[in-house]
Chain A
Amino acid sequence: MNEERYAYRVRQALNHGLKDIPSATSRRLEAARHLALSRQKQAMPQMALAGFGSPSVRASSHVPYLKQILAIVALLLGMWISFYWHSVQYVTALEEVDSALLTDDLPPDAFLDNDFFEWLLDDSPEE
């Protein structure tokens, strides 16, 4: 409770003091605040770019959304590479099966003949 009262007092004293600040001082305070804010804004991009260590990356601040565009391009490229790899595997598997069945001495017609294979299956418990 005491602490709260103390804080309240301090706040009141400061608010009261505001009225007594001369206008020149308040202008200087304002200028100092702007200066502090502008330095803070500059510090942030520099920190973000520090990892790249290259001045050319600063160009990103001039081209809007460059980083986002680069990220999307990288994502699309990654997706296409993964699709391409999937396609290579798929086509290779097709190639293997087709070259085997087209050169086998049992022709593809045999596998298309439902009646024939069903008939063989009817026998299978006997074998």
Chain B
Amino acid sequence: MAFRRLAGGIILALGLNLALAAEPPATVLIGTPPQPGWSQLNAQQKNILAPLSKDWDSMEHIRKKKWLGIAERYPSMKPDEQQRMQDRMREWAALSPAERSKVRDTYKDFNQLPSEQKQVVKQKWEAYSNLSPEERQRVRESGRSSKLLAPNTPSASTAPAAAEPNSQNQ
């Protein structure tokens, strides 16, 4: 049932993300005061937001304010979360607003799933992301995603007949 909601959310996100392109409302643009430039940040903020240093001064006020808020939360994150944040910050900032908005929408729906289903999606992604682009396409075309969790994933993917019983075991 929860997966249905994710399905609905993703379809909606795919359909709307290009049209709405995630522009913040005009009231928010007007209501956000100017934020400090990179040289005005304190040492701790510079340290946390280092991956954004080059782009900082060209960022919109809203994004600067958001990152300053994230920098404030940063010390209370676990060490592995801090590491992930550092690793993903620059890449995330480099996405287009429409892409970021799409990821946020899908993530919000994903977050509503029960934790065991989230775990399944994570395991599937782990197996899937290790494949090369050609293998990914082959595995997608050859059957259900549940076979990603079969013990010998990449080789099983080439044999659709063998994948069927696996998927029923899930």
Contact = CB atoms under 8 A, between A and B. Distances in A.
B103 A126 contact: no
Contact of A103 (B81, B99, B103): B81
B125 A100 contact: no
Interface residues of B, number: 55
A83 interface: yes
B99 A112 contact: yes
Interface string A85-98: 11110111011011
Main secondary structure of the interface of A (DSSP, over half): helix
Contact of B77 (A82, A86, A103, A124): A103
Interface of A: 80, 82-88, 90-92, 94-95, 97-112, 114-124, 126-127
Interface of B: 3-4, 6-7, 10, 14, 24-25, 27-28, 30-33, 62, 65-66, 69-70, 73, 77, 81-82, 84-85, 88-89, 91-92, 95, 99, 102-104, 106-108, 110-111, 117-118, 121-122, 124-125, 128-129, 136-137, 140, 144-146, 167, 170
